[in-house]
């Protein structure tokens, strides 16, 4: 196949769209929406092409030659001085089994979110421009293999997200937007520090025989590259790797969001407009767990193993605490938001098992949570658009008036509960299989399964309160789904069932990589034997 920079294209296409939109007059709302839809649809097509030509046998993770669709160029090169060395930053993109599902997810969810933003009426131009910038940021995070690049994309999303919540959000939008911004920025300044620390700890061999400090994630994974004196180098007896790991983990944990850093999420979700909630739950939360698997795990394998129990513990807290909070909510959207906290707990639990099954389950759960929660938020959006209220107790018997809608709601709810034949079931059972097989976290796993029970509780209770029971005559004028809403729900429903019945479609993509990641992590102690002092 002739070389085509497909990853750059899928990443920067939205920026291109944004620039075109900025040149259009703001009154051309139809055109702007159409263009955004076209851009995101193209992304879906590109993601399809990536999936089609994806080589299932290549592992990636820590070997550059087994990454796919690699693009690597020197981006910044500052010639060396005796005391500074060469500074170089690569424009390094590539995907493997860990990032491929996320790329697919991002493309799909962005497209769906575009459709759901069709009835945005307040300055459409600004909304779509910021939305596309956000899209680039998300896609960039999942495809970049250079820490610097990763960080730039990671931060790139903050500003658009701030405005998207702050301008188009609900009554407390300003509070929610700034809370989201500050929380995430605190996390990312820690990440920045770890990034600089890592940069000074590892040197990459250059083709001309000299070596230079590097931001390249793959070079940072290789213990051979570490210098004897670097502050985050395992060879340095006084290294700060433990502290750095925790700082980095907090950076990612805020995004997941992991208890106790989760308080921004309900606020952000409740205030954000529907498409942004969809993006937030569908993609943004995944960046936290993705970051841990992509960066924390292979760069700090020895500390990950030490702390796996705690990660599992926090996973359990997330699951149970999130579920209990969801049970207590009276606001439909807030309930879904807390269910996200709970479901992301499964991801943490699966990751903490450090087994192939568990991590496979975690990544699969990331994808499934993305699609299922996106659907749940769309569901809230549909009813909110029509009634401008989200109170769970304000409705009742909606099934009579909106049967098709209720059909999709039931599918989404059951998928979220984890009913067999739907995707959520597979990933959750993989997570439990993986974590149950590890002695140290078996008890935690057993408690975590309570989350499923609670999940069924809040979901079914909500279903009952809103859709069953006595019809509330106040909502007599409600209409069922429109064609556009069908278009949003059908693809997600198909994906949910398809992956429930034929999970191998997704599992095969990640299996090789996850295997190799687990191998890599278990193999490490030999080289890192000097570690573990902490």
Partner 1 sequence: MEFNTIYNNLFYLVPEIAVSAFLLLVVLADLILGNNKKLLPYLSIAGMLVAGFCVMNQMTFSGAVFSPSGQSKSFGMVTVDSFGAFFKLLVVISTILVVFFSFSSEEIKKSTRRQGEYYTLILGMVLGMFLMISATDLILIYLSLELMSLSSYVLTGFTKLKDRNSEAALKYLIYGAVSSGLMLFGISIVYGLTGSTNLYVINTLLQSPQINMLALGIAGILIFAGIGYKISAAPFHFWTPDVYEGAPITITAFLSVASKAAGFALLARFIKVTFVSSVAPSGHWLLIPVFPWKELLIVISILTMTLGNFTALWQTNLKRMLAYSSIAHAGYLLLSVAVLSNQGLVAMLVYFAIYAFMNLGAFFIVMIIANKIGSEDLEDYKGLGYSMPFLGVTFGMFLVSLTGLPPSAGFIGKLYLFIALVDANMITVAVIALLNTVVALYYYIRVLKEMFLSKPTGEPVSLRLSPLSLILILVMLAPVVIFGVYFTPVVEFAKSCITILGM
297: burial class by Cβ within 10 Å (0-12, 13-18, 19+)?
Answer: buried
**Under rule CB under 8 A, residue 479 binds partner 1:** no
**Under rule CB under 8 A, residue 155 binds partner 1:** yes
Cα 445 to Cα 448: distance, rounded to the nearest angstrom = 5
- Rule CB under 8 A: choose which of 55, 57, 65, 79 binds partner 1: 79
Number of residues that bind partner 1 (CB under 8 A): 39
Taking CB under 8 A as the criterion, which residues in 319-338 touch partner 1?
none
**Under rule CB under 8 A, residue 190 binds partner 1:** yes
CB 451 within 8 A of CB 346: yes
**Region binding partner 1 by CB under 8 A among candidate stretches 32-40, 148-156, 287-295, 376-384:** 148-156
SS (H, E, C) 58-112: CCCCCCHHHCEEEEEEEEEEECCCCCCCCEEEEEEEEECCCCHHHHHHHHHHHHH
Percentage helix, strand, coil, to 5, in the chain?
Answer: 70, 5, 25
**Under rule CB under 8 A, residue 240 binds partner 1:** yes
**Under rule CB under 8 A, residue 84 binds partner 1:** yes
Tokens 């209770």 correspond to what residue? 461
Describe the crossing of helices 173-199 and 147-156 by its angle, rounded to 10 degrees: 170
**Under rule CB under 8 A, residue 178 binds partner 1:** yes
**Under rule CB under 8 A, residue 121 binds partner 1:** no
Describe the crossing of helices 147-156 and 124-143 by its angle, rounded to 10 degrees: 160
**Under rule CB under 8 A, residue 192 binds partner 1:** yes
Whole-number minimum distance, CB 250 to partner 1, in Å?
12
Looking from the CA of 367 toward its CB, the CA atoms found within 13 Å total: 33
**Under rule CB under 8 A, residue 250 binds partner 1:** no
Sign of the alpha-carbon dihedral angle for 464, 470, 475, 476: positive
Whole-number minimum distance, CB 153 to partner 1, in Å?
9
Cα 462 to Cα 332: distance, rounded to the nearest angstrom = 8
Q: How many CB atoms lie within 10 A of CB 391?
A: 13
Whole-number minimum distance, CB 85 to partner 1, in Å?
10
Q: What would the x/- binding string for partner 1 be over residues 302 to 321, using CB under 8 A? A: --------------------
Longest dimension (CA), the chain: 79
- Rule CB under 8 A: choose which of 14, 101, 166, 291 binds partner 1: 166
Q: How many CB atoms lie within 10 A of CB 224?
A: 9
Cα 289 to Cα 191: distance, rounded to the nearest angstrom = 14
Whole-number minimum distance, CB 178 to partner 1, in Å?
7
Whole-number minimum distance, CB 361 to partner 1, in Å?
34
- Rule CB under 8 A: choose which of 197, 223, 273, 424 binds partner 1: 197
- Rule CB under 8 A: choose which of 19, 30, 53, 77 binds partner 1: 77
Between 177 and 320, name the residue whose CB sits nearer to partner 1: 177
**Number of helices and strands in the chain (H, E):** 23, 4
**Residue-wise over 41-75: b if at least 16 C-beta within 10 A, else e?**
ebbbebbeebbeebeeebbbbbeeebbbbbbeeee
**Region binding partner 1 by CB under 8 A among candidate stretches 28-36, 152-160, 203-211, 371-379:** 152-160
- Rule CB under 8 A: choose which of 23, 81, 228, 483 binds partner 1: 81
CB 364 within 8 A of CB 430: yes
Between 147 and 346, name the residue whose CB sits nearer to partner 1: 147
Assign residue 192 a region: left if phi > 0, alpha if psi is -120 to 50, beta otherwise? alpha
**Under rule CB under 8 A, residue 158 binds partner 1:** yes
Residue from 98, 86, 215 nearest 145 by CA? 215
**Region binding partner 1 by CB under 8 A among candidate stretches 37-45, 69-77, 340-348, 367-375:** 69-77
**Region binding partner 1 by CB under 8 A among candidate stretches 73-81, 293-301, 336-344, 451-459:** 73-81
Whole-number minimum distance, CB 217 to partner 1, in Å?
17
**Under rule CB under 8 A, residue 235 binds partner 1:** no
**Region binding partner 1 by CB under 8 A among candidate stretches 39-47, 182-190, 218-226, 276-284:** 182-190
- Rule CB under 8 A: choose which of 118, 147, 180, 181 binds partner 1: 181
Cα 216 to Cα 218: distance, rounded to the nearest angstrom = 6
Displacement of CA 397 from its chain's centroid (Å): 34
Sign of the alpha-carbon dihedral angle for 399, 396, 279, 319: negative
Angle, vertex CA 380, rays to CA 374 and CA 383, nearest 5: 140
**Under rule CB under 8 A, residue 200 binds partner 1:** yes
Angle, vertex CA 285, rays to CA 384 and CA 427, nearest 5: 95
**Under rule CB under 8 A, residue 468 binds partner 1:** no
Cα–Cα distances in angstroms (integers) from residue 149 to residues 145, 167, 196, 215, in the given order: 7, 28, 13, 9
Taking CB under 8 A as the criterion, which residues in 97-116 touch partner 1?
none
Whole-number minimum distance, CB 318 to partner 1, in Å?
24
**Region binding partner 1 by CB under 8 A among candidate stretches 71-79, 203-211, 305-313, 447-455:** 71-79
Whole-number minimum distance, CB 84 to partner 1, in Å?
6
- Rule CB under 8 A: choose which of 16, 38, 78, 453 binds partner 1: 78
Cα 92 to Cα 71: distance, rounded to the nearest angstrom = 6
Between 55 and 82, name the residue whose CB sits nearer to partner 1: 82
**Under rule CB under 8 A, residue 174 binds partner 1:** yes
Whole-number minimum distance, CB 192 to partner 1, in Å?
7
**Under rule CB under 8 A, residue 83 binds partner 1:** yes
Tokens 């989200």 correspond to what residue? 390
Q: Which residues bind partner 1 (CB under 8 A)?
A: 75-79, 81-84, 87, 123, 151-152, 155-156, 158-159, 162-163, 166-167, 173-174, 177-178, 181-182, 185-186, 189-190, 192-193, 196-197, 199-200, 231, 240
């Amino acid at each position: 196949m002739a070389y085509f920079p497909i990853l750059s294209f899928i990443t920067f296409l939205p920026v291109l769209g944004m620039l075109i939109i900025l040149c259009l007059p703001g009154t051309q709302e139809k055109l702007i929406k159409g263009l955004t839809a076209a851009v995101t649809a193209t992304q879906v097509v590109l993601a399809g092409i990536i999936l089609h030509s994806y080589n299932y046998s290549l592992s990636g993770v820590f070997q550059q030659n087994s990454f796919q669709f690699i693009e690597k160029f020197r981006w910044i090169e500052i010639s060396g001085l005796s005391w500074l060395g060469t500074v170089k930053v690569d424009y390094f993109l590539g995907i493997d089994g860990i990032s491929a599902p996320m790329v697919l997810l991002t493309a799909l969810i962005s497209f769906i979110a575009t459709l759901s933003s069709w009835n945005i009426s307040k300055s459409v131009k600004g909304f779509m421009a910021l939305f596309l910038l956000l899209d680039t940021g998300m896609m960039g995070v999942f495809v970049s293999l250079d820490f610097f690049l990763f960080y730039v994309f990671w931060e790139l999303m903050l500003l658009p997200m701030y405005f998207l919540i702050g301008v188009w959000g609900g009554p407390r939008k300003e509070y929610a937007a700034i809370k989201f911004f500050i929380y995430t920025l605190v996390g990312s300044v820690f990440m920045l520090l770890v990034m600089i620390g890592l940069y000074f700890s590892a040197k990459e061999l250059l083709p001309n025989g000299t070596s230079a400090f590097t931001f390249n994630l793959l070079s940072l994974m290789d213990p051979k590259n570490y210098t004897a004196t670097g502050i985050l180098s395992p060879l340095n007896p006084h290294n700060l790797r433990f502290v750095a790991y925790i700082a980095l983990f907090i950076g990612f944990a805020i995004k997941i969001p992991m208890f106790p850093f989760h308080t921004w999420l309900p606020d952000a979700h409740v205030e954000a407009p529907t498409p942004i909630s969809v993006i937030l739950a569908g993609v943004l939360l995944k960046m936290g767990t993705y970051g841990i698997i992509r960066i924390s795990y292979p760069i700090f394998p020895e500390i990950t193993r030490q702390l796996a129990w705690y990660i599992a513990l926090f996973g359990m807290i997330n699951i149970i605490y999130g579920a209990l909070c969801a049970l207590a909510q009276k606001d439909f959207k807030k309930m879904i938001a807390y269910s996200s906290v709970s479901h992301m707990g499964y991801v943490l639990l699966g990751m903490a098992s450090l087994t192939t099954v568990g991590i496979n389950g975690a990544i699969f759960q990331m994808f499934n949570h993305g699609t299922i929660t996106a659907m749940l938020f769309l569901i809230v959006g549909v009813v909110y658009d029509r009634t401008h209220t989200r109170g769970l107790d304000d409705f009742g018997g909606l099934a009579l008036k909106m049967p098709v809608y209720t059909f999709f709601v039931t599918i989404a709810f059951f998928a979220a509960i984890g009913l067999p034949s739907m995707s959520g079931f597979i990933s959750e059972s993989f997570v439990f299989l993986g974590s149950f097989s590890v002695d140290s976290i078996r008890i935690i796993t057993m408690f975590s399964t309570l989350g499923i029970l609670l999940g069924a509780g809040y979901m079914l209770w909500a279903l009952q309160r809103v859709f069953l029971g006595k019809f509330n005559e106040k909502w007599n004028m409600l209409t069922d789904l429109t064609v556009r809403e069908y278009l949003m729900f059908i693809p997600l429903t198909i994906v949910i069932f398809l992956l429930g019945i034929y999970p191998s479609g997704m599992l095969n993509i990640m299996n090789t990589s996850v295997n190799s990641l687990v191998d890599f992590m278990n193999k490490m102690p030999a080289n890192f034997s000097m570690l573990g002092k902490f």
